[in-house]
Amino acid sequence: MVQALDRATEFRFTEDDFQWLRLVANKHSGIVLADAKRNMIYSRLTKRLRQLNLSSFSEYRQLLDGSDSREFGEFINAITTNLTSFFREQHHFDHLAEQTIPELVMQPRRERRIRVWSAGCSTGEEPYSIAMVLEKGLSKYPGWSYDILATDLDTQVLQRAAAGIYTEDRGSNLDGAILKRWFQRGQGCHSGRIRVKPELQRYIRFQQLNLVQPWKVDGPFDVLFCRNVVIYFDKATQQKLFDKFADVLAPGAALHIGHSETLHQVSDRFRLAGKTTYRKLG
Ligand SMILES: C[S@@+](CC[C@H](N)C(=O)[O-])C[C@H]1O[C@@H](n2cnc3c(N)ncnc32)[C@H](O)[C@@H]1O
């Protein structure tokens, strides 16, 4: 109890500090920090204050306000929520395997390549799960290939995604055959870790991309996963974003969004095609 009190009062965190930080966060990332996030912001940022040897939030604000863009990146990394897992929301991966892949390989196309974008990929479990499904699904169709663009705003999670190294418990929901096929088990000082095999990484390109700032990607994509990302954005930001998404998707492309997200009153350029799964119209 004494320890908790000490922690809570270690740095003075005023209403003005919180309002300023949430405004800056929202302007840059689209993330709306609700009042309920006050304690989370305090505890995540106090770590930065300690690391930087600062004595108050007003010093931290000055640092962010200045030209030190490196700290700005750290600030954004600290406010993002990166929860993810392999094959999270399994039904999207079933849809990809059972509907999207068989449909796409039957289409007359210029190129025998399926193009996927994982937007807000966090630590990489999502694009690696997509790659595992594509590897298996396309093995029945000689000459077919794929590529995956995996993007996130947070540079720290992207680094971890590109490394593809996880603690063993992150892979505990994967079945033994999948683990054996696509992961190496760490030995010696790496024991307790699993590492994605390079052959699963070869068609994935990790890149930093802020969805609410002007961006340009090379479409058209056949599949877009943007799950559990826009939940933190307001409606107007979501509307703009899904309009831009529609512009870079092929007609009929599959869009997968998070379990508590919807396109209702957000975009009329998609039709519902399953649980939190849409198809681009046109
Ligand atoms: C909760 S994770 C979701 C990960 C994965 N899509 C899933 O559903 O398992 C949300 C991710 O969105 C990213 N994010 C938040 N705002 C973003 C923005 N403006 N541009 C790009 N990525 C953003 C965060 O950094 C975080 O990694």
Check: CATH 2.40.50.140 for 2-79?
no
Contact 166, 193 (CB under 8 A): yes
Q: Which atom of ligand 1 is nearest to the CA of 125?
A: 9
Q: Which residues have a Cβ under 8 Å from the Cβ of 231 and sit 6 or more positions away?
A: 258, 260, 261
Among 29, 123, 153, say which to mutate for ligand 1: greatest number of ligand atoms within 8 Å of CB.
153
User: For residue 282, what pLDDT is reported?
Assistant: 87
Instruction: Exactly one of 22, 88, 152, 222 is catalytic; name it.
Output: 152
- For CATH 1.10.155.10, list the domain ranges present in the chain: 2-79
Distance 212 CA to ligand 1 centre (A): 12
Res. 8 pLDDT band, cuts 50 70 90 = low
Entry field: residues in the chain: 282
Instruction: List ligand 1's pocket residues with C-beta within 6 A.
Output: 29-31, 80-84, 88, 120-122, 126, 152-154, 157, 210-212, 227-229, 258
112 is catalytic: no
CA dist 102 and 279 (Å) reads: 15
User: For residue 46, what pLDDT is reported?
Assistant: 95
CA dist 216 and 202 (Å) reads: 22
90-280 maps to which CATH number?
3.40.50.150
* Residue carrying the six token digits 């939940």: 231
Contact 258, 84 (CB under 8 A): no
Distance 126 CA to ligand 1 centre (A): 11
Res. 10 pLDDT band, cuts 50 70 90 = confident
User: For residue 50, what pLDDT is reported?
Assistant: 95
CA dist 224 and 59 (Å) reads: 41
Q: What is the pLDDT of residues 223-282, one digit of tens each?
A: 999 999 999 999 999 999 999 999 999 999 999 999 999 999 999 999 999 999 999 998
Q: Exposed, middle or buried, 14 (CB in 10 Å: 0-12/13-18/19+)?
A: exposed
Two structure tokens written together for 50: 């300690």
- For CATH 3.40.50.150, list the domain ranges present in the chain: 90-280
Sheet holding 113-119, edge to edge: 204-208, 145-152, 113-119, 221-226, 249-257, 277-280, 270-274
65 is catalytic: no
The candidate with the shortest Cα–Cα distance to 80, out of 33, 14, 126, 11, is: 33
